[in-house]
């Protein structure tokens, strides 16, 4: 059954009560995400439907029905409650993408505690910064990651419990350690979920650190309303879908759409807990007949780099709908995916603080490759002057993206950082910190992070626009554009480029790429320098950390690199 109704029809009569009614929720009632994503689905007659299909790097597969998810999240919830975990205490999830991460998330929420997902690749210091800021009470982890926790345990008297999901039977446990084997523990049939209300805190996500120190973003249980409806309308999740969100729940996409959006809509979702390779991803899609695929531009560009020959080895005809998240999606990637998969990746724009999709290419809407699309129904979005904070009247002007507060999944605070939280709001608008323009048809066009936009000789240059042009060159696999100091123009454009297989750095290639960009854009936008590198610095969620490249060019402090891949 299709969810597609024209964008114009949706915005005419939109009200968030649409989601409330579908979820059978009324203002003032109990709303617990853990219950809505498991027990409720079983009550709808889908207890035996596969909810989670997990595959590990060794090929081991585990399957969980919605009743399994209900029972095992109950079991985890009861275990936490028996430990004395109280509502609103922070419980950290520090695991690989294993089933305990997904089901444990729901179990934590059922107790009324706050789930704090963190990347399992964090080192001990990065882990400590976030646990200390949150004053975390318990951490659920694997024995492979436990040494990092043990190393900093002495500095965290507030951390009462280190819970191991794969402790070896009979092996003595260390200080404050307890074991919980989810699959072997006796299932808890009935668990009384804590009666959380709309504004009860649910998730504490730490920003990926592309700018400054990580901040703890607090969300509430009412965020379910946005996450459920955007999953249904933008990701077009349907009853029969086999869904794959490639994001790790250590960042917000992995929870909003890899757990909450998927399970609240009662779809079957697949998880691949293995390193990236084009072959393994395509094999996974073919094996499980994935129909809806939500991924990131970094991954898509990596697939482009792997070439089209590998695609022909696999039957990918099950793919029905594709969407992208994490960074702006270059037009080249949209055109490529339409050619090789028969359908385009649709860009979606949002961030940790918004909790759900804000601006997107809506299914059925005319796609303009390279555009962010239009605001989700119920979201008031515009572009404002960076100094007066007033909306522009005419199309095409570059300004700050501004969102009218009030959508259900909007963050409620930065943890212990009220001052920074207040700075995100100006003149009645929430400011994500990005620049864009809006064309005459209402489509948004991303320019760059507010502090990434390059001012060369008084002219504003969009890093994203230059990066997109660079990606169209046949030799370029990935690119990142920053400013570098210049005596005459104050700053000029510098590009960092990784090359596709078969291409090698040379002065001739450097000149060819520069001229290629010059023909596509203005001379001002042409990189004055190109540096060929093997890999771009990225967060583990796939975002290019331009501030690291910028800091090196300007001789500045690099700042927090805890989310840097392979840091």
Which residues are CB-neighbours of 391 under 8 A, at least 6 positions away?
Answer: 382, 383, 384, 385, 402
Rounded Cα–Cα distance for residues 2 and 4 (Å) = 6
CA angle at residue 454 from 452 to 455, to 5 degrees? 140
pLDDT exceeds 60 at position 464: yes
Beta-sheet strands, E only, within 374-528: 374-375, 381-384, 399-403, 413-414, 425-426, 429-430, 434-438, 444-449, 454-456, 459-461, 476-486, 490-499
Share of the chain above pLDDT 90, in %: 73
Q: What is the pLDDT of residue 48?
A: 98
pLDDT exceeds 90 at position 166: yes
* Tens-place pLDDT, residues 108-137: 999 999 999 998 888 888 899 899 999 999
The CA dihedral of 253, 258, 264, 265, to the nearest 10 degrees, is 100
pLDDT exceeds 70 at position 563: no
Helix (H, G, I), strand (E, B) or coil at 54: strand
The answer to whether 215 touches 207, Cβ cutoff 8 Å, is yes
Give how far Cα 77 sits from Cα of 30, 157, 448, 525, 553, Å: 17, 23, 42, 55, 49
b/e 28-63 (16+ beta carbons within 10 angstroms → b):
eeebbbbbbbbbbbbeeebbebbbbbbbbeeeeeee
Q: What is the pLDDT of residue 560?
A: 63
Q: What is the pLDDT of residue 211?
A: 46
> What phi-psi label fits residue 93: left (phi over 0), alpha (psi between -120 and 50 degrees) or beta?
beta
Which range (218-227, 302-311, 534-543) has the least confidence? 534-543
What DSSP assignment string belongs to 376-407? PTT--EEEE-TTT-PBPSSTT--EEEEE-S--
Q: What is the pLDDT of residue 487?
A: 65
Rounded Cα–Cα distance for residues 373 and 355 (Å) = 18
| More confident site: 175 or 453 | 175
Q: What is the pLDDT of residue 145?
A: 95
Helix (H, G, I), strand (E, B) or coil at 507: helix
* Tens-place pLDDT, residues 334-368: 999 999 999 999 999 999 999 999 999 999 899 99
* Tens-place pLDDT, residues 429-460: 999 999 999 999 999 998 877 777 787 755 66
Which residues are CB-neighbours of 366 under 8 A, at least 6 positions away?
Answer: none
pLDDT exceeds 50 at position 252: yes
Count CA atoms closer than 13 A to 475's CA, side-chain side: 17
Chain centroid to Cα 521, Å, comes to: 31
Q: Smallest Cα–Cα separation from 96: which of 57, 131, 135, 125? A: 57
Q: What is the pLDDT of residue 157?
A: 97
pLDDT exceeds 90 at position 268: yes
Backbone angles phi, psi at 384, to 5 degrees: -120, 160
Rounded Cα–Cα distance for residues 347 and 512 (Å) = 30
* Tens-place pLDDT, residues 55-96: 998 889 999 999 999 999 999 999 999 999 999 999 999 999
**What is the sign, positive or negative, of the torsion defined by CA atoms of 88, 93, 97, 99?**
negative
Q: What is the DSSP letter of 102?
A: H
* Tens-place pLDDT, residues 512-533: 999 888 877 767 678 999 999 9
**What is the sign, positive or negative, of the torsion defined by CA atoms of 550, 556, 557, 559?**
negative
* Tens-place pLDDT, residues 270-288: 999 998 899 999 999 999 9
Backbone angles phi, psi at 162, to 5 degrees: -110, 110
**What is the sign, positive or negative, of the torsion defined by CA atoms of 438, 302, 284, 273?**
negative
Q: What is the DSSP letter of 329?
A: P
The answer to whether 115 touches 93, Cβ cutoff 8 Å, is yes
* Tens-place pLDDT, residues 35-55: 999 999 999 999 999 999 999
Burial (0-12, 13-18, 19+ Cβ within 10 Å), 450: middle
Burial (0-12, 13-18, 19+ Cβ within 10 Å), 159: buried
Q: What is the pLDDT of residue 210?
A: 44
Interval 238-267 mean pLDDT: 96
Domains of the chain: 1-23+46-56+222-379 (3.40.50.12780), 64-221 (3.40.50.980), 452-554 (3.30.300.30)
Which residues are CB-neighbours of 410 under 8 A, at least 6 positions away?
Answer: 353, 354, 355, 430
**Mean pLDDT of all residues belonging to the chain:** 92
Which residues are CB-neighbours of 323 under 8 A, at least 6 positions away?
Answer: 234, 235, 292, 293, 294, 295, 345, 346, 347, 348, 360
Residues forming a β-bridge with 486: 490
Query: Rounded to a whole number, what is the distance in angstroms from the first to the last CA of the chain?
Result: 45
Give how far Cα 381 sits from Cα of 327, 358, 392, 413, Å: 18, 8, 12, 21
Give how far Cα 22 sits from Cα of 25, 44, 106, 229, 265, Å: 8, 12, 20, 9, 10
* Tens-place pLDDT, residues 198-244: 999 999 999 854 445 679 999 999 999 999 999 999 999 999 999 99
Give how far Cα 244 sits from Cα of 151, 290, 303, 333, 388, Å: 35, 7, 16, 19, 43
Is the pTM here over 0.75, yes or no? yes
Q: Quick one: pLDDT band at residue 491, thresholds 50, 70, 90?
A: confident
């Amino acid at each position: 059954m299709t969810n597609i109704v024209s964008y114009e029809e949706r915005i005419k009569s939109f009200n968030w009560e649409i989601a409330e009614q579908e979820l059978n929720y009324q203002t003032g009632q109990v709303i617990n995400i853990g219950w809505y994503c498991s027990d409720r689905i079983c009550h709808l007659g889908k207890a035996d439907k596969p909810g989670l299909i997990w595959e590990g790097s060794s090929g081991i597969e585990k399957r969980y029905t919605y009743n399994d998810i209900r029972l095992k999240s109950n079991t985890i919830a009861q275990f936490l409650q028996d430990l004395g975990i109280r509502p609103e205490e922070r419980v950290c999830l520090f695991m690989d993408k294993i089933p305990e991460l997904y089901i444990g998330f729901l179990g934590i929420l059922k107790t009324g505690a706050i789930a704090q997902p963190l990347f399992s690749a964090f080192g001990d210091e990065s882990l400590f910064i976030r646990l200390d800021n949150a004053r975390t009470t318990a951490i659920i982890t694997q024995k492979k990651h436990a040494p990092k926790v043990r190393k900093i345990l002495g500095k965290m008297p507030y951390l009462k419990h280190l819970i191991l999901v794969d402790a070896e039977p009979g092996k003595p446990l260390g200080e404050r350690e307890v074991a919980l084997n989810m699959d072997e523990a006796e299932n808890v049939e009935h668990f009384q979920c804590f009666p959380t209300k709309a504004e009860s805190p649910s998730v504490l996500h730490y920003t990926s650190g592309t700018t400054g120190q990580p901040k703890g973003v607090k969300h509430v249980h009412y965020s379910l309303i946005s996450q459920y409806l955007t999953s249904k309308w933008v990701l077009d999740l349907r009853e029969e879908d086999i869904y794959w969100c490639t994001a790790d729940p250590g960042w917000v996409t992995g929870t909003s759409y890899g757990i909450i959006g998927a399970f609240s809509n009662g779809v079957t979702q697949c998880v691949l807990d293995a390193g990236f390779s084009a072959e393994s991803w395509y094999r996974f899609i073919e094996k499980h007949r994935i129909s809806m695929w939500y991924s990131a531009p970094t991954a898509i560009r990596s697939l482009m780099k792997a070439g089209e020959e590998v695609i022909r080895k696999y039957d990918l005809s099950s793919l029905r709908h594709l969407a992208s998240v994490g960074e702006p999606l270059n037009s080249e990637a949209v055109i490529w995916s339409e050619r090789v998969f028969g359908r385009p990746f649709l860009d979606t724009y949002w961030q940790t603080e918004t909790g759900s999709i804000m601006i997107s290419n809506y299914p059925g809407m005319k796609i303009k490759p390279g555009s962010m699309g239009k605001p989700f129904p119920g979201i008031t979005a515009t572009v404002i002057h960076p100094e007066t904070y007033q909306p522009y009247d005419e199309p095409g002007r570059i300004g700050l993206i501004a969102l009218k507060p009030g959508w259900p999944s909007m963050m409620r605070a930065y943890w212990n950082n009220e001052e920074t939280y207040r700075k995100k709001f100006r003149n009645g608008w929430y400011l994500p910190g990005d620049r864009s323009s809006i064309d005459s048809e209402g489509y948004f066009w991303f320019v760059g992070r507010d502090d990434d936009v390059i001012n060369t000789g008084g002219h504003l240059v969009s890093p994203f626009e230059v990066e997109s042009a660079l990606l169209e060159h046949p030799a370029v696999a990935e690119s990142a554009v920053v400013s570098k100091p210049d005596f005459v123009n104050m700053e000029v454009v510098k590009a960092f480029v990784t090359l596709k297989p078969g291409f090698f750095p040379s002065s001739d290639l450097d000149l060819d790429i520069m001229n290629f960009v010059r023909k596509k854009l203005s001379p001002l936008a042409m990189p004055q320098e190109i540096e060929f590198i093997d890999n771009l610095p990225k967060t583990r969620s796939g975002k290019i950390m331009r501030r690291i490249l910028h800091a090196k060019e300007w001789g500045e402090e690099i700042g927090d690199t805890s989310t840097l891949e392979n840091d």
